Structure 1
Amino acid sequence: MDGKKLEYKGDEALKAIERLTAEADEVQKSILKEIVTRNRETEYLNKYMKGSKNILDFKRSVPVITYKAMRPYIQRIANGEDSSLITGHHITEMLRSSGTSAGEPKLMPSIAEDLDRRTFLYNLIMPIMNQHVPGLDEGKAMYLYFIKAELSTPCGIPIRAVLTSYYKSKYFKCRARDSFNDYTSPDQTILCHDSNQSMYCQLLAGLIHRHQVLRLGAVFASAFLRAISFLERNWVRLCSDIRTGKLDPGITDLECRSCMSTMLSSPDPHLADEIQGICSRSSWKGVLCHLWPRAKYIEAVVTGSMAQYIPALEYYTDGKLPLVSTMYAASECYFGVNLKPLCDPADVAFTLLPNMCYFEFIPLGENGSMLMDIGEEQEVPRDKLVDLVQVRVGCYYELVVTTFSGLYRYRIGDVLQVTGFHNRAPQFRFICRRNVLLSVDTDKTNEEDLHKSITVAKKLLEPYHALLVEYTSYADTCILPGHYVLFWEIQVQGSEANLATELDDKVLQECCIAVEEELDYIYRRCRANDKSVGPLEIRVVVPGTFEELMDLLIDQGGSINQYKTPRCIKSKAALKLLNSRVKASFFSPRDPKWVP
C-alpha cells in the first residue's frame, strides 16, 4: 500500500497522487479485500460473514451503522477485552473526537499503521502547495499547533485527540528538518500541556521571526482567530520580552522556558518597537500582513461551519492573503486533499485518496432532498450504497467508511456534494454535518441552511461597521410554541467604533426576520400558517462569550486543534454560560412570508 511509504517529496508525491487517482477503482477493491482478509475472524465481522473473505459477502451482509452500534464493542475493548473483537490488529490508542459537532465525544479505535496513513497524507501537502506558491522553502511557517493532555481507558489504552497522537509520534518528532518543515514554534511549545503558555510562546516565536515567516496557520480557523484575540490581549507583554531579552515570569513550563530563553538570547528593542507600532494602531484591519509582511497565505480549515470565520480573517488580512484549506480529515480516518488550494473558500473541493480507507456513499439526491429521509438511526439498505468511482457529479451523498482499525460501513455524518473528478477519483465539496439540526415541530434545519440564512441576515449589520464574529443556536421548547434561539456575538470594527451608530432594536429585529425569510418552506409554514413554531429570537452576548464557551468545552475534554463551535447547543452547561452572558434579546417582528 502506498500509505506505507511516508517520505514522498516533490514530483514523487505528485506522481503518487496521479497513480492513486488513476487507479481509484482497483485501489479501492484491493483495500476492501485486505481489510476483510485481515479482520474476517473478528467477533464483529464473523457475526455477519461467517469467516468469508469475499468482498461481495461483505457488501451483502454487513450493515451500515452509526457510532451507537460500535460503542459497546469499543467499551468492551476499553475495559480490557481483546482488540480482536473488531480488528485483527492491536489497538494502540483510542482517538477522542472533539464532540463539538455531535454534542458528545466519541472514542475511535486506532492501530499503529493508521499513523502511517495520516503521515502519508501530511507529506503530500507541501508538494501540492509548492505547485501554486513557489519559494516556500525560503522562509518559516508560523503554524499554531496544540496538544491535549491524554487520558487512558480502564485497561490502560491511551485516549488522545487525533492531532495530539500525531504531534507526540515519532513521525512528527523525527520529521525531516528541511525548509518545508521549518516552523517558528519549537516542538517543546507545541507539546506543552498548558494551552495558554503554549499560545504565548508560539506567538512570541512567531513575532521574533516575523520577517522570515512565509506561511501562517492553525488547524481550524477558529483556533487561528483565538490566537489573534490572545495577541490583542498580550502584545504588550510579548513586546516587553523581546525588548528586554527575558521571558515573562508567567511562563513556568520548564521546557518552554528553556527553548524560549535560548531564542530570546539578547534584547531586541528595534524589533519590539516595530511590533508595538503595529499593535498599538487604533484599527487592526490588515494587522496580520503588517506583522508578517512576507506571508503568502493562511492555512486553516474554512469550509463547513468554519466558513463563518472568513469575514473576520479577511478583516485581519485586509483581504490580501488567500485562505487555504489543504485537507479533509476526521478522528475516524483521514480522507483526502485539496488539489487547488488557492481557490475561493466557497469552491474548495477535496479529492478523496483511495488508499486511506474503503469509501461508500449514501445517495441523498441531486439537490440533497433525501437528507431528511435517511435519519441518523434509520437503517440504510445495503444495496443502496454507492462505491467511490460510481458517484455522480452534482449529486449529494453521506460519507460511509470501512477502516483497518475496526469501523465497518460506518456513517461519518458528513454530507458531501460531488463537484468533479481528478482522473477516476471524485472531488467533493463539504456541505454540512447531517446531525446538527434545529427542530421544534415538523421543521428540520441543518447546518448549511442555518449558515446560509445567517450569512444573509448579518449583512444588515454592515452599515453600522459591525461584524458578527460568532454564533450558535438551540431550539427552546420550554414554552409553547417552541422557537429557534440564536446567540450572536457582535463586534464593531476598528477606528469606526466610536463613530458607529448604536445598533438599535429595529436592526436586530430585521436580522431575526431576515434569517426566517431564508429558512426553508417547512419552517416558514410552521411559523406563518401552522403557528407551531414561535418567532425566532436573537440573544446578543457580551464580547468574549464564545472564547469562554471554547474554554468550557476544552476543559470538558475538547482540543484547541479540533475545536469547532457547536452550531446547535446540546450541553446544559454551555447553554447556562451563554444565557448568563446575554445583554439584549430581540424577536422577529412579524411572520416570514409563506406561500402555500
Structure 2
Amino acid sequence: MPRSGYEAGLKMIMMMEEQTTNTEKIQEQVLGEILRRNARTEYLRRFLHGQTDLKLFKKNVPIVTYEDIKPYIDRIANGEPSDILLDEPVVQFYRSSGTSGGQPKLIPATAELANKWSISFTLVRSVMTKHFGDLDQAGKRMELMFTGPEIETPSGLKATSVSTSRFKESGFRTILSKLYTSPIETIFCSDTKQSMYCQLLAGLIQREEVVMFGSVFASTVLRAIKFLEDYWQELCSNIKTGQISDWIIDSECRNAASLIMNPNPELAHSIEKICSCKSWEGIIRKVWPKAKYISALTTGVMRQYTTELEFYGGGLPLVSCIYASSEAICGINLEPLSKPSDVFYTFLPNMAYFEFLPMKKDYVTISQDQAQFDGVSHHESEMKTNNEDTEPVDLVNVKPGQCYELLVTTSAGLYRYRVGDILMVSGFHNNTPQFQFVERQNVILSIYVDKTSEADLLKAVTEAKTLLDPLGFILTGFTSYADTSSTPGHYVLFWELKGKEGNNIKELDPKIMLECCSKMEELLNYTYKIHRKENAIAALEIRVVKQGTFVALMDYYVSKGASLSQYKAPSCIKSKEALKILDSRVIGKFFSPKIPM
C-alpha cells in the first residue's frame, strides 16, 4: 500500500474506534438517513405513509425474507424504476452463490454500497498491517481469485457476484500487479481449471515474494492444494522450460503467463524437491516460505476444513478477516491471530442498520472447547425458551452469550431483512457487540419432527471423526441429506477421507466406521433420539466416497453458476443432481449398529 494508502488505513481504524464508541448514535443516524431517502418508495409507503419516524418503522415495517421482496426486485430487473424499492439508482445486482441452502438471489447494488465495500477492504488491510506488518511493502499476496458468470437482466442491469464486481473495479486493477501474484487475465478466465493452473503457476514463479496465501473460503484454498498435488510435476516442467502447457488454450492466460515466464531450472528443482516428499504436511509454508498467514473464512460450515488447512499450513495462522454477505457488510475480525474456534467479528455500525431476533430454541452448541476439526473444544450456551413472540433488539441491546438471527436494513432496498445467519454475542469492542457465527438458519436435517441444525450436525461429525485420528485419516469433506425413500427414513452422511501420508486411502476398518455412526447418533438432540427409539427414524448411515468427490461436487455447483470464489459446500444436500454425484462415488456404507441412549 502506498504511504498515502497506509495513512488512509490508519484513519479508517481511528474512524472505526470512534464509531464503535458512539454505536447507538451512529445506528440511529444510519436508519434515519435510510428512512429520509426511502420512506416515500412504493414499498415503504405501504407501512410508513411517507413518515420517517424510527419508532413507526419498528412498529409497522414487517420482518421479511427474500421471497417477500423478490417481486419488487424482479420488477426492477425487468425494467421498472428502482424507486419502487429504494431512492438511489440501482447500478447492478449482486448475485449470491445459492450453495449454502437455496437458489441464487439478486440483491440490489448501488454506488454507495460499492463504496462501503471499498471502505471495508481498506479497514481489513489496515488491521492486517497492525498484526503482520506492512505487507504491501513486504511482498505480494497469493490470493486465488475467480469470477462468476455475469448475467444481464431485461432492464440491462448486470448481475454478478460481489467478488467479481470488485475485480472489475479500476482501483483493484491498478493495484493488482503490485500487490498480488495473479495477472488479471487469469482471474477473468472463464475456465476455472485453466484459471487455477495459471494462478498457481504465477504464484510458484513468484514464490519468494509471497507474504500471504489464501482465498475467500477455506474450501477454495484446499481446492488449490489438491490441484497442486495433481499438477505440480507439470507446473515444474513449465517453469523449467519457460513454456506453458499446450492445453492452456485461453489466449489471454497464455499471453499473461509469457510475460512472467523464463526458463528457470533451479526454481523448478526446488519446488520438485518439496512436492515429491512422502507427506505434504506443511506444504504451504514449504513452498511459500515467506508467507505470514493463510487468509480464508474458517467459521460456520467452513470450520470442517480447519484440520486439513492446519495440516497443509505447517503452523501458519488461519485468518478469517471479514463477515459479510451479498446483502450487507457486517463486521471484521480485529484479532486475526485468534484460533478459528475463537473468531468473533466486531460489527461496523455505519455499514447498515442492524437488528437481532432472539432465538426461540432450548439450546445451541457453539464451538469453543471440545476437540473438533481444528483440534479445539466446545461448550454449550443456554438459550432462553420463550413461547411468546419475540421482538427484535437493536445492536446496542444484545446480551452476551445470547444467540440471535440477524436482520439488516440497508440503503439498497432491504428493510428488516432476514439474512438467515445465527450469531452469538461473544463480547464488546467499545460499545459495539462482537459476534461469533453459529450457523445458517435454514440448513437442517429432518425426518419426522426432529430438527438437526447445522451446528449440531457439525458437532456430531467433529466428535465422531476423532475415532479415525489414530488411524491417520483426515476428513476432507462431508455433507448430508435426509433419506425418506423408505420408511422409516434416516440420516445419511457422506464422508471423504484421505491419509496424512500419500494420496491412497488406507483400508477402512468397518468396526471403527460403525462406531463413528453410533457416536454421531449419541450426540444428536433429544428429539432425534426419542424417535430413533420409537423406530420413527432408522439408523444413521455414513457413506464413504472416493477421493475427489467433493471437488466434483464443487465443479457441479460452479457449472450451475456459482463462483469458485464464493462456493460453500452445502451441509445438507437439496439437489437431486448433486446427490447423484455423491452416490455414484460411494466406496463403503456403514449403519449405526445400536439405538442411542
TM-score where L is the length of structure 2: 0.93
Total equivalences in the alignment: 575
Q: 1:67 to 1:373 in 2, by over 3 A?
A: farther
Shift of 1:8: 6.3
Structure 1 partner of 2:256? 259
2:537 corresponds to 1:541: no
Alignment counterpart, residue 336 of structure 1, candidates 331, 334, 339: 331
| Preserved CA contact (<8 Å) 2:176 2:183 | no
Structure 2 partner of 1:98? 97
2:65 corresponds to 1:58: no
Shift of 1:556: 0.8
Residue identity matched to 1:338: N
Alignment counterpart, residue 513 of structure 1, candidates 505, 518, 542: 518
Structure 2 partner of 1:481? 488
Alignment counterpart, residue 594 of structure 2, candidates 573, 590, 595: 590
Q: 1:267 to 1:518 in 2, by over 3 A?
A: same
Alignment counterpart, residue 282 of structure 2, candidates 281, 286, 291: 286
Structure 2 partner of 1:248? 245
Shift of 1:371: 9.4
Q: State how 1:406-421 maps to structure 2 within 5 Å.
A: 406-421=413-428
| Preserved CA contact (<8 Å) 2:532 2:595 | yes
Shift of 1:520: 1.1
Shift of 1:148: 1.3
Give the SS at the match of 1:48. helix
2:192 corresponds to 1:185: no
Q: State how 1:111-190 maps to structure 2 within 5 Å.
A: 111-136=110-135, 137-175=137-175, 182-190=179-187
Give the SS at the match of 2:588. strand
Q: 1:199 to 1:588 in 2, by over 3 A?
A: same
**1:483-529 deviation line (CA, Å, top 9, x unaligned):** 1000111112215968x5x212211111101111111111111112x
2:225 corresponds to 1:228: yes
Shift of 1:283: 1.4
Shift of 1:232: 0.9
2:426 and 2:310 map into 1 onto residues whose CA distance is 25
Alignment counterpart, residue 359 of structure 1, candidates 354, 370, 374: 354
Give the SS at the match of 1:105. coil
| Preserved CA contact (<8 Å) 2:529 2:596 | yes
Shift of 1:479: 0.8
| Preserved CA contact (<8 Å) 2:294 2:313 | no
Shift of 1:175: 4.3
| Preserved CA contact (<8 Å) 1:491 1:543 | yes
1:367 and 1:172 map into 2 onto residues whose CA distance is 44
Alignment counterpart, residue 566 of structure 2, candidates 562, 574, 581: 562
Residue identity matched to 2:329: Y
Q: State how 1:60-79 maps to structure 2 within 5 Å.
A: 60-79=59-78
Shift of 1:255: 2.2
Give the SS at the match of 2:91. strand
Alignment counterpart, residue 438 of structure 1, candidates 437, 442, 445: 445
Residue identity matched to 2:458: H
| Preserved CA contact (<8 Å) 2:141 2:180 | yes
Shift of 1:389: 0.7
| Preserved CA contact (<8 Å) 2:6 2:126 | no
2:508 corresponds to 1:503: yes
2:431 and 2:419 map into 1 onto residues whose CA distance is 23
Q: 1:557 to 1:371 in 2, by over 3 A?
A: farther
Q: 1:116 to 1:371 in 2, by over 3 A?
A: farther
2:431 and 2:282 map into 1 onto residues whose CA distance is 41
- The farther-off stretch of 563-572 and 502-511 is 502-511
Structure 1 partner of 2:200? 203
Shift of 1:304: 0.4
1:242 and 1:301 map into 2 onto residues whose CA distance is 31
| Preserved CA contact (<8 Å) 1:147 1:193 | yes
Shift of 1:409: 0.2
Shift of 1:281: 1.5
Give the SS at the match of 1:91. coil
Residue identity matched to 2:475: L
1:85 and 1:371 map into 2 onto residues whose CA distance is 39
| Preserved CA contact (<8 Å) 2:518 2:593 | yes
2:445 and 2:126 map into 1 onto residues whose CA distance is 41
**1:511-562 deviation line (CA, Å, top 9, x unaligned):** 101111111111111112x221110001111111111111111111111111
1:174 and 1:49 map into 2 onto residues whose CA distance is 44
Shift of 1:373: 7.8
| Preserved CA contact (<8 Å) 1:6 1:120 | no
**1:246-290 deviation line (CA, Å, top 9, x unaligned):** 1222222222222210100x2100000001111111211111111
Q: 1:589 to 1:367 in 2, by over 3 A?
A: closer
Q: 1:76 to 1:6 in 2, by over 3 A?
A: farther
**1:197-224 deviation line (CA, Å, top 9, x unaligned):** 1111111111011111111110000001
1:413 and 1:6 map into 2 onto residues whose CA distance is 35
Structure 2 partner of 1:316? 312
Question: Structure 1 segments of 4 or more deviating over 3 A?
Answer: 5-8, 174-177, 365-374, 495-498
Q: 1:281 to 1:161 in 2, by over 3 A?
A: same
Which sections of structure 1, spanning at least 5 residues, go unmatched?
Answer: 375-379
1:332 and 1:351 map into 2 onto residues whose CA distance is 17
1:149 and 1:86 map into 2 onto residues whose CA distance is 26
**1:77-119 deviation line (CA, Å, top 9, x unaligned):** 1122111111111111111111111221111111121110011
Residue identity matched to 1:441: Y
1:459 and 1:120 map into 2 onto residues whose CA distance is 42
Shift of 1:155: 2.3
Shift of 1:442: 1.6
| Preserved CA contact (<8 Å) 1:244 1:267 | yes
- The farther-off stretch of 248-257 and 11-20 is 248-257
Residue identity matched to 1:249: D
2:477 corresponds to 1:470: yes
Shift of 1:235: 1.1
Give the SS at the match of 2:355. strand
Alignment counterpart, residue 300 of structure 1, candidates 280, 296, 303: 296
Q: State how 1:386-401 maps to structure 2 within 5 Å.
A: 386-401=393-408
Q: 1:195 to 1:176 in 2, by over 3 A?
A: closer
1:54 and 1:247 map into 2 onto residues whose CA distance is 63
2:232 and 2:503 map into 1 onto residues whose CA distance is 22
Shift of 1:349: 0.3
Which sections of structure 2, spanning at least 5 residues, go unmatched?
Answer: 365-381
Shift of 1:311: 0.7
1:580 and 1:138 map into 2 onto residues whose CA distance is 47
Shift of 1:7: 8.3
Give the SS at the match of 1:189. helix
- The farther-off stretch of 365-374 and 480-489 is 365-374
1:232 and 1:577 map into 2 onto residues whose CA distance is 22
Q: 1:478 to 1:496 in 2, by over 3 A?
A: closer
Structure 2 partner of 1:377? none
Give the SS at the match of 2:207. coil
| Preserved CA contact (<8 Å) 1:103 1:569 | no
Residue identity matched to 1:572: K
2:231 and 2:84 map into 1 onto residues whose CA distance is 50
Structure 2 partner of 1:46? 45
Q: 1:207 to 1:176 in 2, by over 3 A?
A: closer
- The farther-off stretch of 165-174 and 152-161 is 165-174
Residue identity matched to 1:553: Y
